[in-house]
């Protein structure tokens, strides 16, 4: 594919290091009978070796200047490569999947990585797994345990819906232009069932987590005073003097049950 200067406004950092590309392809281990979606293929650093593995591959690219070369490549692949010119934040992956389960991969733009992760989690029913290059700090937030400095809303929501595993770190020199931060490669596998014993309303769970972390320096008693009272914390077996980053998924599930009893509907 032709060389194109990366666009700062799109947060583009094109991967070019052969050794890192090989590690990524090995970690994904695509097979001919699989259906993959690549978000942000850029100049095809991952696209071409993925195609060599033989799967069906849909790519989602927002940059109009890259579409022509991607479409030219698609014309040579007997239908195995399909190009979608759209914003990944608006893409309907389940429509692309049809009756299949997708494997989603990509070098996610740093400037939209968090909202894009939440958008993909919303569509997890049609996703088998996800492999992403992300800012190392974001990956650390996704996989870290309760009580750590990085632990927050993203940690809870990712770990609630997926098994998350950081695979390896990627230095700035692997990209053009080099970003100012390190990156990491992460694997996400959507869970078939929540990682705790309780059955909770997912919307209420998300609302509880959002509220608990909305003012990180405040205790749960103060951060959630519009929803929960002292007796609710007692019934849930949770100290209201704790802060949100000290709670694990099980504790958030118990708070969700208490909130659902207090507020039967979530607007």
If one counts every other C-beta atom within 10 angstroms of the C-beta of residue 33, the result is 9
Among 203, 198, 223, 228, which Cα is nearest to 211's?
A: 223
How far apart (Å, rounded) are the C-alpha atoms in residues 266 and 64? 40
The H-or-E segment that residue 27 falls in is helix 18-28
Q: What pLDDT sits at residue 7?
A: 46
In this prediction, residue 3 carries a pLDDT of 59
Q: Inform me whether the pLDDT recorded for 215 exceeds 90.
A: no
pLDDT score of 267: 47
How many of the other CB atoms lie within 10 Å of CB of 248? 15
Q: Write down the CATH superfamily of domain 8-190.
A: Vaccinia Virus protein VP39 (3.40.50.150)
Q: What is the pLDDT of residue 44?
A: 86
- Range of weakest confidence among 46-50, 68-72, 141-145: 68-72
> N- to C-terminal Cα distance for the chain?
48
The CATH 3.40.50.150 portion of the chain extends over 8-190
Burial (CB count <10 Å: 0-12, 13-18, 19+), residue 104: buried
Location of structure tokens 């927002």: 62
Alpha carbons 236 and 9: distance in angstroms, whole number: 46
- Which tens digits make up the pLDDT trace of 224-258? 998 899 999 999 999 999 999 999 999 999 999 99
Tell me the pLDDT tens digit for each residue of 81-101.
999 999 999 999 999 999 999
Task: Give this prediction's pTM.
Answer: 0.91
Confidence (pLDDT) at 266: 46
Q: Which fold has domain 202-259?
A: Helicase, Ruva Protein; domain 3 (1.10.8)
Residues of the chain with CATH 1.10.8.100: 202-259
Rounded distance between C-alpha atoms, residue 130 and residue 174, angstroms: 21
């Amino acid at each position: 594919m032709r060389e194109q200067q990366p666009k700062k406004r799109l947060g583009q950092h094109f991967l070019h290091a052969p050794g890192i590309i090989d590690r990524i392809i090995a970690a994904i281990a695509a097979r001919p009978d699989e259906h993959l979606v690549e978000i942000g293929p850029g100049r095809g650093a991952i696209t071409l070796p993925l195609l060599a593995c033989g799967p069906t591959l849909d790519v989602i690219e927002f940059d109009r200047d890259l579409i022509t070369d991607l479409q030219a490549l698609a014309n040579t692949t007997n239908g195995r490569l399909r190009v979608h010119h759209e914003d990944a934040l608006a893409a309907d992956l389940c429509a692309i999947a049809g009756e299949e389960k997708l494997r989603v991969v990509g070098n996610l733009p740093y400037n939209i990585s968090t909202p894009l992760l939440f958008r993909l989690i919303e569509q997890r029913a049609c996703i088998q797994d996800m492999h992403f290059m992300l800012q190392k700090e974001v990956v650390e937030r996704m996989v870290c345990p309760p009580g750590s400095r990085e632990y927050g809303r993203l940690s809870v929501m990712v770990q609630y819906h997926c098994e998350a595993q950081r695979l390896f770190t990627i230095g700035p020199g692997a990209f053009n232009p080099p970003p100012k931060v390190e990156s990491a490669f992460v694997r996400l596998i959507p869970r078939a069932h929540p990682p705790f014993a309780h059955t909770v309303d997912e919307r209420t769970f998300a609302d509880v987590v959002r509220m608990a972390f909305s003012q990180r320096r405040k205790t749960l008693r103060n951060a959630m005073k519009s929803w929960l009272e002292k007796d609710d914390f007692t019934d849930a077996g949770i100290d209201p003097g704790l802060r949100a980053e000290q709670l694990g998924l099980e504790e958030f599930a118990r708070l969700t049950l208490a909130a659902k009893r207090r507020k039967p509907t979530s607007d």
